[in-house]
Structures are given as C-alpha cells and as structure tokens.
Amino acid sequence: MSTYRQPGTVVTEHLFDVPLRHDDPEGETISLFAREVGAADGVERPWLLFLQGGPGFASPRPVGRDAWLDRALRDYRVLLLDQRGTGRSTRVNRHSLLRRGGAEAQAEYLSHFRADSIVRDAELVRRRLLGDVPWSVLGQSFGGFCAVTYLSFAPHGLREVLIAGGLPGLSASAEDVYRATYPHVAAKNVAHYARYPGDVETVRAIVAHLLEHDVRLPGGARLTAPAFQTLGRALGGLSGSHELHYLTEDAFDAPGVLGDAFLEEVQHRLSLAAAPLYAVLHESIYAQGPGATAWAAHRLRPAAFDNYASGPVLLTGEMMYPWQFDLDPALIPLRDAAELIAARPSWPVLYDPAVLAANEVPVAAAVYHDDMYVDRTLSLRTAAAIRGTRVWVTNEHEHDGMRVSAGAVLDRLIAIARGDA
C-alpha cells in the first residue's frame, strides 16, 4: 500500500486478493486494485465506491480533484475500483487468456467477470476496509447495472446508491435491449446529419471508398465499411457528433487517398486492445437464466444500417458484432472464446425483483431522456420496481453526463438522495 499527494487530494493505493469463483473461496484467487482518494484537509468522511461503466474499463485515473471528484470529495472519501479484469487488477487480455488454455477454458474463466462477481468483490473489499459499516455506491452506466445487482445481493452493505445513466432492464434480454436502442442510434444519426448536412456526402464517400478498396490501418488491420460505421458509438456523448465531423472532414488527403492522420485516429477509436472484456462480454451483461445471447446485435441489426446505395449512411452504436473478432488484432485470438460466450446456454441471474421491491436503501438515479445506450423506457420500468427510487429524467445531458458536467450530475444525485431536490 502506498500513499501520495496530488493537488487537493491524498491518494492511497490498495491491493486485495479475492476468489476467482466466489462459490469456491478456497480456490484460485485474483487481485483487485483500488485507489482511495481523500480530500487533503484530513477530515474523515464516509466512503463512496465508484463503479465504472463498461464492461471492461478501468476506473478513472485522477489528477487531483478533476471532473466529478471535486464534488464527491466534499462529502465522501472515494474508492476508485479497477473492476476484476481491468486496469491494475488481474488483467484479462489476449496474452493472459491464452495462458488459460483453449477456448473452452478461456470462456469458462471469462464467465466470472460479470456484475455478480464484481459485486461480491466489492463486498469483500468493503468488509476489509470498513468492517460492518455500509458505504455509498456511485454507478455510471454499466456501473449502475452493478449497483442494482448490489441492491439485489447485498443491500446490507449499502448506505445509499447513486446511479447515472445505468438503470438496467431487470428482465430485458439482449434482444430486448437492441430492439430498443437501434432506433435511438438511428435518431442520433439524423440529428448529426441535420447539424452537419455536408457530412452526408463526406461519409458516403468514405464508405464507398472502403467498399471498393482494401484499406489498412497503420497497425495492419483492415478498415471495412461496417467497421467504420462503429465509430457512431461516439454519437452517444456530448461532443461526439462534433468529433466525428472533424474526423471525417479531413479524411481524404487527395481524391481516392485516405490520409494517414485520419487512419491513425480511426485506429485509436476502433481498437479494443485496452478493453477486450468490453468486446467479449458486452452482450452477456444482459444475460440471465436460460437462453444464449447469440450475437443479438448482429441478428437484430436493421437493414437500414446496411444500406449503402442511397441516403445517408447510418453509423452504429454500442453494439458488438462477430466480424470485429476477425479485424481487431487484439480480438482475433479471442474469437473462439467469444463464440462460446455468445453460445452459452444459461447464465446466473443478476437481479432479485423481490428484494428490490422491498428495498430500504435510498436510491437516486439520473435517466437521460435521449440516452443512445440505455433505453429510458426500460430504465423507468426498473426505477418503478425498486422501492423508494427517486428518478431525475433529463435531456440536459447525454450518457457521459457524469464525466463531463463538472460535478453537476453528481451534485443533483446527492441532493435527490438526501431529499433536497
């Protein structure tokens, strides 16, 4: 454990050993890394666990009281947890998975990296740090899904729950999620092209070039038209439309020549080398009970997204497709394991409706009205099913509101949880 100072904060690093399989506490263990961030004034404050969005992304790397931390540190001591498989916790990537053995062994290992295991990890960490004292939890996006699992499995460990853009459908399958979110993605495309009408022809020119040529990114991966379309996941953030406009406006160095700067930026945005768990487990975060996810986003993809002949080319969103495991060098070695994950016939349940209906933990949730990733109808249905949940529905923010609002979203959630808003 090491401690150091940053502007306005004191940071302490923690490392915990937890069971890989919580039903086998004496078996294999993995490591969890977490940063404790406290205000530099030395005042003791209650703990707030932050659960990052994803799946498969490490917790934020803070620099002092940046972003929402400034607001959080007025009331809490914050624990930034690298969820299992991410960051400085025992990492999951193509190298570590290959050491597990073949595809079946890899897929079995990966099955222990969902919200149910993350919540049990968090409970072990809480008991080691706080004993019997409950703590507050802040969940962003997938972190909110984990928070609802926490409310289901271990409400005794919770003082209050704050959720930003992360109320899951309690019984929604992957198919239900993509039926709901594909129309949101299409609407974001319409809004983008209305804002930047010249991008209709620009994007069509890029896609036409990709359909006719074998284009390679600087790292050697092939850039196809469908791969380019996945850049549309940026449209769910506050500045994503503007970023895509600036990216595509400089795509061609000359007629028929895609520029190196464009290709380098596309490679950076497309690669999942830093978060392979996001790719492999993305659909499984919706899976409960019997039924394989079976590449639901691929199966349900509307024909409009494959229309390259006329009209604006529609970019896609937070969906994973099997062909991505043929293109991204970081994912190619994981293709067989990903197929087994997609074909897995049954998954443990993630939510307990009876426990949630009897909930006594204060819950405050921000539901973004125009959220491209988490359908508001499913979220509001879940809010109604969790006793005592207070909801703030807003179109002031996009899905990344927690990160980019300079603490405004968190401030509102805290006020709601306390009955002050």
CB 18 within 8 A of CB 121: yes
Pairing of strands 135-140, 47-51: parallel
What CATH number has the domain bearing residue 358? 3.40.50.1820
Which tokens go with 275?
Answer: 């978060």
Q: At what angle do helices 240-249 and 199-212 cross, to 10 degrees?
A: 60
Token pair of 199, please?
Answer: 């991008």
* Last-in-domain residue among 347, 372, 405: 347
Beta carbons within 8 Å of 176's beta carbon, 6+ residues apart = 169, 286, 378
Please give the structure tokens belonging to residue 228. Answer: 């380019």
Q: Tokens 């919770």 identify what position?
A: 158
pLDDT for position 421: 77
Q: Which residues of the chain have pLDDT under 50?
A: none
Looking at the fold, whether 8 and 126 belong to one and the same domain comes out as: yes
Note whether 23 and 119 are same-domain residues: yes
CA–CA gap between residue 207 and residue 205 (Å, rounded)? 6
pLDDT in tens, 220-251: 999 999 999 999 999 999 999 999 999 999 99
Q: DSSP class of residue 286? A: G
For residue 402, what pLDDT is reported?
94
H or E segment at 12? strand 9-19
DSSP lists the bridge partners of residue 112 as none
Verify that 274 and 297 share a domain, yes or no.
Answer: yes
Are 11 and 146 contained in the same domain? Answer: yes
Q: Do residues 302 and 334 share a domain? A: yes
Residues 275, 299 within the same domain: yes
47 and 62 part of one domain: yes
Judgement on whether residues 315 and 301 belong to the same structural domain of the protein: yes
Determine the 3-state secondary structure of 291 from DSSP: coil
The C-alpha atoms of residue 384 and residue 248 are separated, in whole angstroms, by 42
Which of 328, 399, 400, 405 is catalytic? The answer is 399
Q: Which of 136, 141, 152, 405 is catalytic?
A: 141
Q: Are residues 79 and 132 in the same domain?
A: yes
Of 302, 326, 347, the residue at which a domain comes to its end is 347
Q: What is the pLDDT of residues 330-343, one digit of tens each?
A: 999 999 999 999 99
Torsion, Cα 129 135 140 143, to 10 degrees, reads 60
Phi/psi at 269 (nearest 5 deg)? Answer: -75, -30
Per-position DSSP letters for 141-162, written without gaps between them:
THHHHHHHHHHHH-GGGEEEEE
Residue 239 catalytic?
no
Q: Specify the pTM.
A: 0.96
**Residues 285 and 404 both lie in one domain:** no
Give the residue among 208, 203, 229 at the shortest CA–CA distance from 301: 229
Residue 85 domain boundaries? 3-170+351-417
Work out how many domains the chain is built from and give that number.
Answer: 2
Residues 196 and 100 in one domain: no
Which position among 82, 371, 375, 400 bears the catalytic label? Answer: 371
- Mark whether 230 and 217 lie in a shared domain: yes
Contacts of 122 (CB under 8 A, 6+ apart): 49, 51, 81, 137, 146, 150, 157
